[in-house]
């Protein structure tokens, strides 16, 4: 299913006013309303304790909602036991049976569904081929690498043709290089099969790499659900701006509005033009969000509507770019990612420097953290 079809698709999963509490007082998930589109890769992203894993466990059937309704297709599944939901699960710890071969691990969910032996064999072969481990059926889990074990766990989740696949931090135990390779493999498998995937992680880069949409959780509430590009470039509030990727924040007060932009007086006295986020009235406090790669330095700053002076506090060479820390008046610091080819050897520690930011890349947001 292509991306335009996803936008218009009938929801595969719906949460309506779903709540979850363990003690009767503190809500882990609050009035959750969420539509998951058939065939999409949706990531639930948030810090520890934000409610994302509880949401996944309620969908899997391992937790029961305190209130509200969860539907799979047109069927309410609140009271349906996990083994009758036809949902595949992939966990961080693989959860493979160590005493069974790879093929036996894959046969198990098919055998308990009482499929014919010939059908089981065909499905096991196909699932192993999907994860490119067709020659590993006779091996035991402990004879495989971490990445291979995770691919087998994925194959086991897919082997019985589930309604959807849920993944709970599935790459958390892998090293960085293997983790990045598995991200792309899982994404390619999803694109090939077109199955609905709900993926939980606290890793922002993982979510940005893999997802069609990302739901950002905080305090049991979805703060924003959108495409990776929209979340990164147009965060809905201050929490999302700071949680997704790296962010610079400048504090100030809104002085006036001009269409889709506003004039803000920074706390250091400087005035800048910014795009209006969720700050809409003069006199309100604002935090101005700008990504490090959107700040221009020296000659590159000349064409920017907003120019500020400062001093270079730190320069780190990272090959393709420099990471430059600049202190502005009022001791406020900006971190800037600047192309190394443009700036190498053009300034040193302690040098006076100009930074430039265009209004469309400076977003005025309410400084309060949404809940």
Q: 222: Cβ–Cβ under 8 A, 6 or more apart, which residues? A: 32, 34, 215, 216
Asked whether residue 94 is domain-assigned, the answer is: yes
pTM over 0.85: yes
Q: Which of 213, 239, 265 is the last residue of a domain?
A: 239
Please tell me the number of Cα atoms within 13 Å of 135 on its side-chain side. Answer: 0
pLDDT in tens, the chain (371 residues): 455 555 556 799 999 999 999 998 999 999 999 999 999 999 999 999 999 999 999 999 999 999 999 999 999 999 999 989 999 999 888 789 999 999 999 999 999 899 999 999 999 999 999 999 999 999 999 999 988 999 999 999 999 999 999 999 988 878 888 889 889 999 999 999 999 999 999 999 999 999 999 999 999 999 999 999 999 999 999 999 999 989 999 999 999 999 999 999 999 999 999 999 987 789 999 999 999 999 999 989 999 999 999 999 999 999 999 999 999 988 899 999 999 888 766 788 999 999 999 999 999 999 986 55
Q: Does residue 125 sit in the same domain as residue 274?
A: no
Q: Does residue 252 sit in the same domain as residue 234?
A: no
Give the domain CATH number at 351: 2.40.50.100
Provide the pLDDT for residue 280.
Answer: 73
State the Cα angle at 80 between 95 and 119, rounded to 5°: 60
Q: Are strands 296-297 and 285-290 parallel, antiparallel or unpaired?
A: unpaired
| Separation of alpha carbons 182 and 308, rounded Å | 43
Q: Does residue 147 sit in the same domain as residue 226?
A: yes
Q: Does residue 235 sit in the same domain as residue 252?
A: no
| Separation of alpha carbons 69 and 185, rounded Å | 33
| Separation of alpha carbons 200 and 202, rounded Å | 7
Strands (E), 169-212: 196-201
Look at the alpha carbons of 293, 295, 297, 301 in this order and tell me if their dihedral is positive or negative.
positive
Q: Does residue 26 sit in the same domain as residue 119?
A: yes
Q: Does residue 185 sit in the same domain as residue 39?
A: yes
Q: Which of 206, 239, 272 is the last residue of a domain?
A: 239
Give the domain CATH number at 91: 3.40.50.300
Radius of gyration of the chain (CA): 24
Q: Does residue 81 sit in the same domain as residue 204?
A: yes
Could you give the strand order of the β-sheet that contains 221-226, starting from the edge strand earlier in sequence? 87-91, 164-168, 196-201, 41-45, 213-218, 221-226
State the Cα angle at 207 between 204 and 209, rounded to 5°: 110
Domain span holding position 66: 3-239
Provide the pLDDT for residue 3.
Answer: 56
CB-based burial label for 4 (10 Å; 0-12, 13-18, 19+): exposed
Provide the pLDDT for residue 138.
Answer: 95
Q: Does residue 306 sit in the same domain as residue 342?
A: yes
Q: Does residue 14 sit in the same domain as residue 53?
A: yes
Contact 226, 232 (CB under 8 A): no
Q: Does residue 196 sit in the same domain as residue 111?
A: yes
**Structural domains in the chain (count):** 2
| Separation of alpha carbons 219 and 351, rounded Å | 43
Q: Does residue 190 sit in the same domain as residue 142?
A: yes
Asked whether residue 334 is domain-assigned, the answer is: yes
| Separation of alpha carbons 219 and 51, rounded Å | 7
Where b means 16+ CB within 10 Å and e means fewer, 120-131 reads beebbeebbebb
Q: Does residue 198 sit in the same domain as residue 255?
A: no
Provide the pLDDT for residue 335.
Answer: 97
Take residue 302 and report the two structure tokens written for it.
């000349």
């Amino acid at each position: 299913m292509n991306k335009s079809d996803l936008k218009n698709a009938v929801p595969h999963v719906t949460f309506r006013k779903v709540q979850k509490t363990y003690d009767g007082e503190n809500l882990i998930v609050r009035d959750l309303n969420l539509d998951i589109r058939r065939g999409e890769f949706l990531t639930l992203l948030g810090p520890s304790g934000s409610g994302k894993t509880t949401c996944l466990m309620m969908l899997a059937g391992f937790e029961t909602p305190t209130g509200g309704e969860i539907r799979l297709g047109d069927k309410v599944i609140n009271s349906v036991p996990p083994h009758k939901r036809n949902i595949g699960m992939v966990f961080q710890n693989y959860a493979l049976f160590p005493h069974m071969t790879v093929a036996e691990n894959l046969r198990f969910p098919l055998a308990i569904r009482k499929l014919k032996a010939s059908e089981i064999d065909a499905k096991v072969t196909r699932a192993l081929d999907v994860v490119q481990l067709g020659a590993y059926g006779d091996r035991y889990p402990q004879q495989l690498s971490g990445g291979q074990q995770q691919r087998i766990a994925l194959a086991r989740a897919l082997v019985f043709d589930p309604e959807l696949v849920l993944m709970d931090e599935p790459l958390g135990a892998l090293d960085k290089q293997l983790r990045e390779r598995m991200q792309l493999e899982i994404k390619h498998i999803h694109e090939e099969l077109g199955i609905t995937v709900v993926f939980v992680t606290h890793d922002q880069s993982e979510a940005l790499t893999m997802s069609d949409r990302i739901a950002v959780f905080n305090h049991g509430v979805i703060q924003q659900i959108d495409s990776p590009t929209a979340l990164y470039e147009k965060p809905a509030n201050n929490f999302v701006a700071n949680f997704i990727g790296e962010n610079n924040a400048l504090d100030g007060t809104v002085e006036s509005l001009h269409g889709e932009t506003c004039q803000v007086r920074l706390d250091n006295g400087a005035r800048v033009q910014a795009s209006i986020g969720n700050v809409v009235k003069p006199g309100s406090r604002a935090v101005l969000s700008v990504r490090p790669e959107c700040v221009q330095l020296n000659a590159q700053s000349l064409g920017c509507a907003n120019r500020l002076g400062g001093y270079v506090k730190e320069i780190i060479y990272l090959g393709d770019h420099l990471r430059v820390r600049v202190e502005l008046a009022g001791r406020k610091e900006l971190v800037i990612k600047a192309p190394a080819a443009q700036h190498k050897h053009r300034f040193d520690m302690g040098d006076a420097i100009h930074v430039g930011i265009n209004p469309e890349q400076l977003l005025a947001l309410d400084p309060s953290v949404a809940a």
